[in-house]
Amino acid sequence: MIVLITGATSGIGKSTAEIFAKNGHHLILTGRREERLMELKEKLEKAYKIKVHTLCFDIRNNDEVTKAIESLPNDFNRIEILVNNAGLAAGLSTIQNGELNHWERMIDTNIKGLLYITKLVSNSMIKNNKGHIINIGSIAGKEVYGNGNVYCATKHAVDALNKAMRIDLLPHNIKVTAINPGMVETEFSVVRFDGDAERAKKVYEGMQPLLPDDIAETIFWVANRPQHVNINDIIIMPTVQASATQVIRNS
């Protein structure tokens, strides 16, 4: 089985690559950081005797996405699982003070990028009359929190697209699932705060966040239900987090 994971150079995507590789699946891994893709390919192929094809592109650019998917060799053409994971938050501020550059990055990556790759891969799944698309949403796609405005809007869009894809792809035997995590410790907050690692660290201070492996295990479980079972939607939170804003921390 061939699994395409977007945003595999870090965090949830990287852990997801590991778990599918460990279970004998061949992988297509994407991201912009080529060196990390090559390192991961080498590591997984050696450890698990599977094949990994890497595609280095910016998901915000439809030409790059199209060229990358069209370049796939024959033995990687039959994608059965697409994990739409590449995404980010940029900034944390009110609407009136928000930075256009942050908004555009989030909208272009989390919504438009997800759409570009989904269009291409879903058409190939339709030809095979089989497939599973797993969209990584967020608790931010179920709730809205102060200063989270545009990030929350992009993840609400993923929530809507997840439902819409399921309807459109229903005649083609394609499963569609959303996984919506709460706080997961990855590079997410470093990216959100434009590289400010100290500020990012504070996000998880005094609490146990989810780990990327927790989400990867859930993705793997969802992908391995019997053919007649589809998991539509999962919200997965740290035990100490009840909502986007309610977290118990050790003082």
Binding site for ligand NDP (CB under 6 A): 7-13, 31-33, 58-60, 85-88, 109, 136, 138, 181, 183-184, 186-188, 191
Give me the helices (H) in 129-180, please. 149-169
Catalytic, 151? Answer yes
Chosen from ligand 8X3, ligand NDP, none, partner binding at 118 (C-beta under 5 to 8 Å by type) = none
Evaluated on CA atoms 137, 143, 148, 150, the torsion sign reads positive
DSSP-based three-state secondary structure for 29: strand
Please give the structure tokens belonging to residue 100: 């256009």
CB 52 within 8 A of CB 75: no
| Interactions with ligand 8X3, residue window 155-184 (CB under 6 A) | 183
User: Angle between the 11-22 and 212-223 helix axes, to the nearest 10 degrees?
Assistant: 50
- The span of 7-15, 135-143, 167-175, 226-234 binding ligand 8X3 (CB under 6 A) equals 135-143
Q: Give least dist CB 203 to ligand NDP, A.
A: 8
In the complex, the smallest distance separating the C-beta of residue 244 from ligand 8X3, rounded to whole angstroms, is: 5
Residues 20, 3: contact at Cβ < 8 Å?
yes
Residue 60 or residue 142: which is nearer to ligand 8X3 going by CB? 142
Given 138, 149, 177, 218, the residue binding ligand 8X3 (CB under 6 A): 138
Of 6-14, 58-66, 136-144, 169-177, the segment contacting ligand 8X3 by CB under 6 A is 136-144
Pick from ligand 8X3, ligand NDP, none: which does 244 bind, CB < 5 to 8 A by kind?
ligand 8X3
Q: Which one of 27, 133, 216, 244 is in contact with ligand 8X3 (CB under 6 A)?
A: 244
For 158, other C-beta atoms within 10 Å of its C-beta total 21
Q: Which of 48, 116, 151, 204 is catalytic?
A: 151
Nearer to ligand 8X3 by Cβ, of 118 and 186: the residue is 186
- Considering the rule CB under 6 A, would residue 114 count as an interface residue with ligand 8X3? no
Per-residue CA distances from 165 to 13, 19, 155, 158 (Å): 21, 25, 15, 10
Q: Is residue 30 within a helix (H) or strand (E), and if so which, with residue range?
A: strand 26-31
3-class secondary structure, 199: helix
Please state the closest distance from residue 188 (CB atom) to ligand 8X3, in A.
6
Cβ burial 104-143 (10 Å sphere, 16+ → b, else e)? ebbbbbbbbbbbbbbebbbebbeeeeebbbbbbbbbbbbb
CB of 171 to ligand NDP, least distance (A): 28
Binding site for ligand 8X3 (CB under 6 A): 138-140, 148, 151, 183, 244
Known catalytic residues are 151
